[in-house]
Structure 1
Amino acid sequence: MNVVRNAVHNALRPALRSRPYATYVPPASLKEVGPGQRPWLSSRQPPESPNFYTGRAEYYDSLNDLETSIQHTRAALTSLQLLPLPAFARAAIPPAQHVWQTKQDIIQRMRMTLSTTRYRRLIKLLNQLDQYRRIADVAGVDVLTERIEGVLSVFEKPNKEAILAHGKKKPVAFDDYGRTYTIGRRKTSTARVWTIAVQRPPEEPVEEQNADGQTADEEVLPQMESTVVSAIEYIPPKPVKVTSTNIVINNRPLVEYFPQLADRERVILPFKIAGLVGAYNVFSIVRGGGSTGQSGAISLGIAKALAAHVPDVEPLLQKAKLLRRDPRMVERKKTNRRKARAAVRRPCFHRLRRY
């Protein structure tokens, strides 16, 4: 083996000596030699980021940038005595209105696989930084707010304004007569509801009496008798009686359309919670479904109308969950089932008696 090794070494020795880096160059002479004239040195430059060798360099660079931004922002808010906030000040901060990019959008931008755990970690840092942005915005620190928005805009969807505008509820409009038109849905029922305030007649002024105890009309009547108008009898106007709230459904009264008490209570529940029983008249046209679905649809339409007429009662209706559509529906029937889950009862032939 030693003989073969020496023979190979002697054969390759001339080739090794012919290489440029095999010759010895003094270090002092390398000072005047440029980097392009050093073929024995590698031309590769060191990576810009220390996360280059992790396999997810862009992801960890983003995490490091967010953590650095959070640290600097927290230090700035603390120096301005805006952190920590008491409970009542934290409740006064406006709610978050961010639309982050989805997991697939970030994967497509970074061109790498991203697990759900890493995505949640990224979103957690973004939410914390957005909370600091809202604090700075309320406090009026515009410089800090603009810098944070520049960082958050990288991870938000480009059509953020359109998405937020689509989620907002359209305000209920009033017509020339002061009526509101709302729509309520429940199960397969749809109700169109028109709501108008009850018109109260103006109070009649109290007639003043003179020293003899006669009113102004009683003084005029004897004078009218001496003229041609004396033949016409004086008829005082009758006061107009105003009834309580009228709820008309498909041109039928509430009691006649919903004979069951539970359905009627469901319809007038928004009036009871808002304390506006007898203050508004309701005319509704409802289609589809049964009595439960129709009464729930009318109740939703009435609640929306009352929130538009009296904005002060909107928190009460919202807390009672009357301003949101009830999403519960009947589960569809399944194949080989009697209904959604109930199985078909089949006879047991082995138990039948043979006659």
Structure 2
Amino acid sequence: MMTALAQCTRQPLRNAATGARAASTSSHQHQHHQPFFPVQSSPAGPVRQTPKPPSHLWYTARPTFNATVSSLERNLVQSRAYLFRQGLLRSIDPDALTANAASPEIDSQAGRTVLAHPRERKWRVPDDMKAYIGTDGPLKARQYRRLTTLLSNLEGLLPHARIADRLADNLATNGTPRLVLDPVALASGRALAGSDPDLVDSVKGDAGEGLYAQIETLLERFRKVEVGGGQERVVGKERRLGRVDAFGRVYATGGRKQSDAKVWIIPASASASDAASDPPIGRIIVNDRPLASYFTQDPHRQTVVRPLSLTSTVGAFNIFAIVHGSGIAAQSEAVANAVSKALAEWERVEYEAGRRSEPETTYREILDRAGLIRRDPRMVERKKPGHVKSRKMPTWVKR
């Protein structure tokens, strides 16, 4: 009886204690998981909104380049669509044959017809194009080719744009597209810096401006800048192989492997003590030493004298050479390359001065046929890690 009474009196106390402990535990857990914000990290003023990029191309690796290409493609499509509506193009497709192309060019690799037009303009070189566009890193060959292809396609529309402008003037028709004349400014965001819509219209052509004038203005921005007073690089047979100094000597350079040679040649003159019937005998000096003293082996001396033997001018010139780098064999070939260029240039100078008639076969043709005018581009192949030499591998051992 007493035991049951004690249990009844203790039961509410135990339940009350258990409930109190549970309430304190839940309160402690609630306080522990409550987020805490320090006063120092609270913003003192209004939160500044991050400006949105002007285009989705901003998220690409080269946003300026991609935006410029996108503007050029848009200009090309608008121009073709306008010329198609005027009846000057059979299709908007760039590979379609034009109605006015008398002699279309056929791309043998792609097997398609492209616009026939004279490519009169030379575009900026890759380094200059990269600086003008303002992209990070050098332009790859594929990217530069894509850009110049779009410019060339726009250039091919110039003859058709001139006819379209004449038809629009005569028929008083409208609908000439307004092209983006400065794609780089639009791509770099300079035209989108403000909210004024006139800034965007400033890079576009005027409403009354013809298509031909707009394309001309656009192409001039990407055209190669010609330096005033500079000489254009001459290639082929017109390229000079050397030059004549103030003393009448012909100077030329040559090379082979890591060896570089500088050569001066001048016709040998007979001294007063020599007989009039004896031809003058020239000398060959290499690094202030006679030929036989510097090149002690006969094959090396024959290599140096070979250009003179092919042109039948052995002993007709005094030759002074300075050569350094690489080995003796490479130095002999470098001197021979420089002597060949000097002989070809000497004959050209003599013919232009009127002191020598034009031969049927020039020195340059003879020496070029023998492979002495062009520098041998072969170089020593580098040694690779894990190889004995450039290609030789260690001997395989089974065990």
Higher relative contact order (CA 8 A, sep 6+): 1
Which of the pair is proportionally richer in helix? 1
* TM-score normalised by L of structure 2: 0.42
